[in-house]
Amino acid sequence: MICRLHPEIRVVENNRGSFLVRELPLAVLKVNGPLADTVKRLQASPEGDHTPGDEKCLELLAARGFAQRLPPPAVGNEGLPLVSIVIPVKDRAGELARCLESLAHVEYPRELREIIVVDDGSSDDSAAVAVRWGCRVVTTDSPGSGPAAARNRGVCVARGEILAFIDSDCTASTGWLRELLGGFSDPELAAVGGLVDGMREAGHLDRYEAVMSSLTLGTRTMTGSSGEDTFYLPSCNLLVRAGAFRSLDGFSPEMHVGEDVDLSWRLRDAGWRISYVPAGRIWHEHRSRFIPFLRRRFDYGTSEGTLNLLHPARRKRMIIPPLPALALLLVIITALGGSSWCLAGALTLTVGEALLQQRRLAQRGIGIGWLTVLRARLRGTGSLAYYLGYHLLRYYAWLFICLMPLFPLAGMLLILIAFLAGSVDYWIKRPGMNFILFLAFYLPEQLAYGAGVFGGCLNRKHFGSYRFVVRNSLAQG
């Protein structure tokens, strides 16, 4: 993975040691002398050739937020692998024809790619459409086996070194394969996921899905290896080494949703790395009608119980620093009609914490202005508010609704949480609609997903999705 230093990093050296300092967001990392020298050399020549040691250093710094991961360059014409494109389909003849037409324009040697369409018991002419486009057509062992089983069936006949998965309701950009294959220059990388964009923007729900779909991972390159975080790659735009895929027996065929999450985590647990690259764009036809949209969110939620059973170590983790949490609680009490003294207490805590942090930085010889530290503290408290609010809304909104007849304050708190979380997502995602309309989609989406989580957990008789590991970031050093 290619990395570069964040441009705003500076190196501070004094009798206390060497430190990397980044002011927004505020972060300080103590490093040894050789690493500090490496950082200064890379700052002096950011476009110079990097040694393997430099790349390892940058990768470590990227994990701590001091470097950025960059998309790999598109591959050239030398040493290209054979790629098997696998498409599961069921009763989507029109969408499949559109998908195959886009694949015909993908810039990749035809002799180095094959397209395998897996018909999962279609009642329309999906199979005939695939034959007309020159694809190899196979069928699942039993109709309606689901997309995971269908993809596995396609892989059984695939010859390619790289497996490329795309769904029948998607279309590919001309650079789809070339822009993603560069990531496989890293021998430890098993899978690369690409950018998923919305196919349409005409309707309000189209524009909402374009920025809020769980298939859309954003504009920042990300990687995941061993660990306990929940990073994964959606299967509608996914390239995987065939050997790694087969070594794990592919997708879990019994899973009809969440199978891509499960595969991503199993690859990582097996010692592989996975990477998301905001390139290799495909366009996905999101659900543009309200009820199917909510039904799909419900379906996604049902996968959490199964995933929690299969991967118990990947529990949700919440980092809650005590002083910002207390300040936030005082603000909430004020918003719900509490005394203005609560708000004064919250401000006092925040200002006092900023003063203490600036003093600790000064003791280490790091000069950062008090206003900069205060801004970082306010930003941190705001992030904590969103983080807690979003998870409460997504997983516990129904509990608030059930409590409303007995405790009307629960309804006010739910409205406050929805407004807070929705405001942050609206400001960051910037959908092409007004805020009220955005909330009209946002709140039902969270309710539908939360209902799916509860239904899936109830079906599995396992409620691990509701258990969080709470950590104190101050105690974690």
**What's the pTM value of the predicted model, to 2 decimals?**
0.89
What pLDDT score was predicted for residue 474?
A: 41
Quote the domain boundaries for residue 138: 83-288
What pLDDT score was predicted for residue 147?
A: 96
Whether residue 303 lies inside any domain: the answer is no
Residues 282 and 409 in one domain: no
Instruction: Give me the amino acid identity at 395.
Output: Y
Whether residue 414 lies inside any domain: the answer is yes
Residues 87 and 151 in one domain: yes
Residues 97 and 155 in one domain: yes
Triad 9, 477, 350: Cα angle to 5°? 80
* Rounded alpha-carbon distances, angstroms, from residue 63 to 164, 222, 224, 350: 28, 10, 10, 28
Whether residue 298 lies inside any domain: the answer is no
Whether residue 353 lies inside any domain: the answer is yes
**Cα–Cα distance, 418 to 430 (Å, whole number):** 17
Residues 269 and 410 in one domain: no
Task: Give 3-state DSSP helix, strand, coil % of the chain, rounded to 5.
Answer: 50, 15, 35
Within 332-429, strands assigned E span none
Whether residue 476 lies inside any domain: the answer is no
Using the 8-state DSSP alphabet, how is residue 7 labeled?
A: T
Whether residue 354 lies inside any domain: the answer is yes
Q: Which of 70, 99, 127 is the last residue of a domain?
A: 70
Using the 8-state DSSP alphabet, how is residue 81 labeled?
A: P
Residues 240 and 135 in one domain: yes
Residues 257 and 195 in one domain: yes
Residues 282 and 322 in one domain: no
Within 288-354, strands assigned E span 316-319
Classified as helix, coil or strand, 52 is helix
* Rounded alpha-carbon distances, angstroms, from residue 202 to 80, 216, 233, 432, 442: 38, 18, 27, 10, 18
Q: Count up the domains in the chain and report the number.
A: 3
Residues 134 and 181 in one domain: yes
What pLDDT score was predicted for residue 196?
A: 96
Whether residue 129 lies inside any domain: the answer is yes
Residues 124 and 243 in one domain: yes
Whether residue 75 lies inside any domain: the answer is no
**Cα–Cα distance, 335 to 329 (Å, whole number):** 10
What pLDDT score was predicted for residue 447?
A: 96
Residues 308-317 pLDDT 10s:
999 988 877 7
φ and ψ at 19, to 5 degrees?
A: -135, 145
Residues 10-31 pLDDT 10s:
899 998 889 999 988 888 999 8
Residues 208 and 254 in one domain: yes
Residues 203 and 112 in one domain: yes
Residues 24 and 141 in one domain: no
What pLDDT score was predicted for residue 104?
A: 96
**CATH at 236:** 3.90.550.10
Residues in the chain, pLDDT under 50:
474-477
